[in-house]
Amino acid sequence: MTPSAGTSRKSRLQHHRQVLAAAKDATPEERRALLETARRETRDRRLARPLPRWMATRTSRRTLAGLAAIPFACGAASAYLPAESPVTYGVQMVGAIAVLAGLGLLRRATKELSEIPDSDLDERELDDRNQALKGAYVALLILLGTAVVLTIADGLVLSTVDWKPLVFGTFGSAVLLPSAAIAWDYRELDDEG
């Protein structure tokens, strides 16, 4: 069985069907090897896909990394707005759109570096990812600390209407932080800065 030479969606789907059909009749060791080969081919094809020009510069990636702050900011702002206000719904919608856009754009900008298994990364990529995830952990602690401070201030200094938006905003930012931290420091081998 040879991999499909075409790059269209239909040819890739056909290739995956062939791999799965071959894996049905294979021994467990052969099945593992077939599926591992297919996974590596998919990863290599994804890594070979060039980034769009607007996403290829360090400045653009750092701007995209800022998307991680938007859900938390929107959640905090809507916690202090009247619950049934159209403005509140608009702010919450902006936060939700930022989460969805961040998931797609940040993963694309970093070539999904935060989701790739360690065994598929070279030393530089592994070191870059580990350093970025350390930064994401610190940022998450700061985010949670800010949420705790806002909780303590509730009733003493500030009065809120609803805490659910802040919780969802914190969660949305926490989901984006690993990819955002990697996007902040991400560099291609030929990246000029």
pTM of structure: 0.69
Four-residue CA torsion sign, 188, 104, 38, 118: positive
Instruction: Please name which of 104, 66, 98, 69 lies closest in space to residue 184, comparing C-alpha atoms.
Output: 66
> How confident is the model over 147-167, as a mean pLDDT?
76
The partner residues of 154 in beta bridges, in order of sequence, read 158
One-letter identity of residue 41: E
**What's the confidence (pLDDT) of residue 5?**
44
**Quick check: 139 pLDDT over 70?**
yes
Q: Is 57 helix (H, G, I), strand (E, B) or coil?
A: coil
49, 129 Cβ separation under 8 angstroms: no
Mean pLDDT over all residues of the chain? 81
Q: Is 13 helix (H, G, I), strand (E, B) or coil?
A: helix
Read off the pLDDT of residues 43-79 as tens digits, 9 standing for 90 and up: 777 667 777 777 778 888 888 899 999 999 999 898 8
Q: Cα dist. 163→68, 94, 140, 160, 170 in Å? A: 19, 17, 19, 7, 11
**What's the confidence (pLDDT) of residue 124?**
82
Confidence class of residue 38 from pLDDT cuts 50, 70 and 90? Answer: confident
Q: Cα dist. 96→13, 16, 89, 178, 181 in Å? A: 31, 33, 10, 18, 20
Most confident of 38-42, 91-95, 122-126: 91-95
**Quick check: 157 pLDDT over 80?**
no
**What's the confidence (pLDDT) of residue 188?**
64
